[in-house]
Amino acid sequence: MDECIFCKIIKGEIPSKITYQDDKVIAFYDIHPVAPIHILLLPKKHIININNVTGEDENLLGHMLITVKKVAHEQGISEKGYRLIINNGPDADQVVQHLHFHIIGGQPMHHPMG
């Protein structure tokens, strides 16, 4: 997926402010934050979205959730709370076709449904 912007970030071809990285995932600050803390966490393996995960991705998805906890703690938002969002597909406004979690916090959140 040479054209995927997140794959280019993973390869270091596009600069980003990385906050966490290991052999399976990378986390960096969103360039259009909606809160004081807005970090994107994604697998280094190119997976389009949740509809494209397979049984072989089970450990990777678990690792991503454990990493969310680690990143939230490092950012100082784990105690007060944060929002974890996965936009899946066009109707959910998934802009980049590479699975990613939005970790959003640092301020009180209002319920999106009103």
Tell me the residue type at 28: F
Known catalytic residue: 98?
no
Look at phi and psi of residue 65 and say left if phi exceeds 0, alpha if psi is from -120 to 50, else beta: alpha
In the set 38, 98, 100, 102, the catalytic residue is 100
Q: Cα–Cα distance between 57 and 49 in angstroms, integer?
A: 12
Q: Beta-carbon neighbour count of residue 108 at 10 Å?
A: 8
Longest dimension (CA), the chain: 40
Active site residue ranges: 100
